[in-house]
Amino acid sequence: MRKWIDRGLPIACAICAVACCALLLGIVATILARGLPVLSGEFLSAADGELLGSGGIRYQLFGTVLLVATALAVGAPLALGWALVQAVWVRSQRGRRLLRRTLYAVNAVPSILFGIFGLIVFVKYLDWGKSWLAGGILLGLMIVPTIAVALVERIEALPAKYVRAAAGLGLSKGRIVTSVILPQCWSGGASGALIGLARAAGETAPILFTAAVFSGVTVPHGVVESPVLALPYHIFVLAQDSFDPEAGAHLWGSAFVLLALVLALSLLALPLRLRAAEEAQHG
Amino acid sequence: MADILRMPSAPRPILSARAVSVASAERALLHDVDLDIPEAGVFGIIGPSGAGKSTLLKVFNRLLELETPPLELAGDVRFRGRPVYGAGVDADALRSRVGMLFQQPVVFPASIRRNVLFGVRHVERLSRAGLEERLVEALEGAALWDEVADRLDRPAVELSVGQQQRLCLARTLALRPEVVLMDEPTSALDPRATAAIETLIRRLADVHTIVLVTHDLDQARRLADQVACVCRRDNVGQVIETGCCTELFDNPRCPETMDYLDSRGTDQ
């Protein structure tokens, strides 16, 4: 029996791994095959046309970048603060456990709930209507756990000798954070931020009710009643009309651009992730 | 002779501990420690592994407070007659006056220059010229200037372990501390690097108070003016005996000291 388990387990694991890779490659290949022919300079730079699925995706791209940048501006400081509280300021193991579990719980909240929260708070209560800022804030809140977990892992892997040595020289805790911990742990936070942004760039649910519209807007000039066009929402709406060949082509082109954006962010995070792992290993 | 001359000349200790006890959540680490460390010279702390020597060292500059999980401290610790613990005492300022050299050299991933000035830059406000002056002074104090003068902007990790330890000493000296606590500073070094550090310790003792934790009894005999022996009694670390070197090594009074000296004598 043990022999069977020894032989069967690696085979089962290999099948699972191959299935995952095949699925991922299948998705990427489909999007590449259907999206690449649509891609052109005009598709990327032109504004959307009057008919469904006509024109380009200039303002969808702009809106996505604006939402992602806002998410970073909101999420990164919050995550940094959270990570420092959890890994540096709170000394009791119980307190740290509580913060860690809260972080995982926030990470597990379905994105549609963030959307509903945004609808109640920003759209209704603050009376912003649909606003790019509301979408950016919600996406920022969503990526806090991803950034904070990466940062906490890196801070906890930082050898205690550095903190002790700095404290032994009379540096205050704040100075130790800015001169020892952050310079040596920024790669962890940056890789977490890029992975979080890759996730935020592809989210539809949080911006569905709060920030995105399908057409009729360009660049927002304020906060209240200032929605944006965004790639995920654009794809979502086009997918409902994908039987129309024109809309279908536009859909695959948009999907290709979104995939490239997400992939680029993930690839940018890779060397930082490797660097963080190497630094953690060698101290 | 040196022992006799140095011993009684410091009526008021620079560091003192009265009824000091340290405990973790699980067990007591130090119990009822009474110790006076005179100003200037080398004060050695010897004793078996796990007796609490390093813990005792950390009591004096409050590095104990950084331990995780936290340790409980009771008793009275004083630096120049003033309480080390308590409300209103600036622990960071204290640590810049009571510096520490660790067992393993800890260099930051930065240049030699930045490493030496790491503490000074954050603790004091000095001009660029002042910082340069302090850099040279510290490196000369640690007998490292001649070896690194032409490569101050090279990464500190390129130095040998012995040089790294002297770099750490230079970093501590750059703050012009009154006391330097040394936790087995030569245990990771080869004999040549050890000899260099020992020469330095003896030289620094003219101006600074050095508190040296060491396992090497010969080193303690060579360097220390006075020695305290920390041993486990009733399963908790205690200062069993203090005295001048010759007295403690040649005529120990307590059985724990005798056992320890005998065991180390057999080891060495």
Tens of pLDDT, residue by residue over B96-151, are: 999 999 999 999 999 999 999 999 998 888 999 999 999 999 999 999 999 999 99
CB pairs under 8 A between A and B: 63
The beta-carbon neighbor of B68 closest among A91, A166, A179 is A91
Shortest Cα–Cα distance, B195 to chain A (Å): 24
Work out whether strand B179-183 and strand B98-101 pair parallel, antiparallel, or are unpaired. parallel
Per-residue pLDDT, averaged over B178-202, amounts to 92
What is the model's pTM? Answer: 0.80
Per-residue pLDDT, averaged over B19-28, amounts to 93
**Domain spans of chain A?**
36-282
- Asked if the Cβ–Cβ distance from B175 to A169 is below 8 Å, we say yes
- Asked if the Cβ–Cβ distance from B109 to A171 is below 8 Å, we say no
CB atoms within 10 A of CB B103: 16
Residues of chain B neighbouring A93 (CB-CB closer than 8 A): 69
Tell me whether A157 touches chain B (CB under 8 Å): no
SS3 A212: strand
Supply the ipTM of this predicted assembly: 0.86
pLDDT (0 to 100) of residue A186 = 87
pLDDT (0 to 100) of residue A188 = 86
Residues of chain A neighbouring B69 (CB-CB closer than 8 A): 91, 93
CATH 1.10.3720.10 matches A36-282: yes
Cβ under 8 Å to B: A residues 89-108: 91-93
Q: Residue B100's closest chain A neighbor by CA?
A: A168
pLDDT (0 to 100) of residue A150 = 92
Tell me whether A213 touches chain B (CB under 8 Å): no
Contacts of B176 (CB under 8 A, 6+ apart): none
Q: Copy the structure tokens of residue A9.
A: 């387990």
- Asked if the Cβ–Cβ distance from A164 to B96 is below 8 Å, we say no
* Burial of residue B155 (number of CB atoms within 10 Å: 0-12, 13-18, 19+): middle
Residues of chain A neighbouring B109 (CB-CB closer than 8 A): 184
